[in-house]
Amino acid sequence: MSVPDASLVVSDLHVQFGAFVAVHDVSFDAHPGEVRFLIGPNGAGKTTCIDAITGLSKGTGTARFGDKELLGSPAQKIVRLGVGRTFQTASVFAQLSVLQNLDIAAGLRRSPVSLLRARRGVDASVERALEETGLGTVRDLPAGMLSHGQKQWLEIGMLLVQDAKVLLLDEPVAGMSQDERTATGELLGRVAANRVVVVVEHDMDFMRSFATRVTVLHQGRVLSEGSVAEIQADPRVQEVYLGTAGALSGALAPGAEEVD
Ligand SMILES: Nc1ncnc2c1ncn2[C@@H]1O[C@H](COP(=O)(O)OP(=O)(O)OP(=O)(O)O)[C@@H](O)[C@H]1O
Quote the pTM value. Answer: 0.88
Check: CB of residue 11 under 8 Å from CB of residue 61.
yes
Task: Kindly state whether residue 126 falls inside one of the protein's structural domains.
Answer: no
Number of domains in the chain: 1
Query: Would residue 142 count as lying in a domain?
Result: no
- Residue 49 C-alpha to ligand 1 middle, in angstroms? 9
| Segment 149-200, tens digit of pLDDT | 999 999 999 999 999 999 999 999 988 999 999 999 999 999 999 999 999 9
Amino acid, res. 136: G
Residue 141 CB burial class (10 angstroms; 0-12, 13-18, ≥19): middle
Show the ligand 1 pocket: residues with CB < 6 angstroms: 17, 20, 22, 40, 42-48
Report the chain's terminal Cα–Cα distance, integer Å: 40
In a domain, 150, yes or no: no
For residue 239, give the amino acid letter: E
CATH code, domain with 213: 3.40.50.300
pLDDT(256) > 50: no
Q: Specify if 110 maps to a domain.
A: no
- Domain hosting residue 17, numbered range: 8-93+164-252
Q: 182 in a domain, yes or no?
A: yes
Which of ligand 1's atoms lies nearest the C-alpha of 200? Answer: 22
Q: Say if residue 124 is exposed, middle or buried (CB neighbours under 10 Å; 0-12, 13-18, 19+).
A: exposed
pLDDT at residue 245, rounded to an integer: 45
Residue at 57 is within a domain: yes
Closest residue by CA, ligand 1 atom 10? 22
Residue 239: pLDDT above 70? yes
Q: Please give the distance, rounded to the nearest whole angstrom, from the Cα atom of residue 48 to the centre of ligand 1.
A: 6
- Which residue has its alpha carbon closest to ligand 1 atom 16? 45
Atom in ligand 1 nearest the alpha carbon of residue 220: 14
Q: How far apart are CA 165 and CA 242, in angstroms?
A: 36
156 falls within a domain: no
Report yes or no: 173 and 184 within 8 Å, Cβ to Cβ. yes
Q: Answer whether residue 141 is part of any domain.
A: no
Sign for the CA dihedral angle at 203, 50, 127, 66 comes to negative
Residue type, 93: F
Distance 43 CA to ligand 1 centre (A): 5
Q: ipTM score here?
A: 0.96
Task: Tell me which amino acid residue 80 is.
Answer: R
Strand partners for 166: 83, 196
CB 193 within 8 A of CB 32: yes
Q: Ligand 1: distance of its center to the CA of 42 in Å? A: 8
